[in-house]
A = this chain, B = another copy of it.
């Protein structure tokens, strides 16, 4: 069996509409710049940069049934946790993909964060590599099911 070690999947370009971290040009590890003390504003900005429209769509769809919960996603998940500078954004999104793949029952969220990983500059192959290694930790079913979600997202994103 010959294992190929080269990227198979063509890059999926990130939509130009999403802001890029100026330090994040595939050079040394970039740190997210602190946006100040406003949890809500910081969260909205991180939500947009990390997940683009899909994340904002999820949050807004929750306002009818649980508006405080929608605010928790913006202010806690994104404002307090995911916008922290201790990890560059690409590593954050890849670690997110790893966790959601391992959980095995969070496919809607996996969809949002695969999009997010592409948005912040991860290559499609890097996203797949993270899923593949999760086979060791969570077994083949979790990864087969995650790859199915990835295929959908790449198809939707890659179309010109």
Q: Which residues of A contact B (CB under 8 A)?
A: 1-5, 7-9, 26-29, 34, 37, 39-40, 58, 62, 64-69, 71-73, 75-77, 80-82, 84-87, 91-92, 94-106, 108-109, 125-126, 128-145, 147, 150-151, 154
Contacts and interface: CB of A to CB of B under 8 A. Distances in A.
Contact of A137 (B7, B96, B126, B137): B96
Contacts of A72: 76, 80-81, 135
Contacts of A145: 105-106, 108
Nearest to A82: B133
- State the copy count for this chain: 6
Interface on chain A toward B: helix, strand, loop, or mixed SS?
helix
Given A95-B130, A109-B141, 5 more contacts: A1-B75, A2-B37, A3-B80, A9-B65, A109-B140
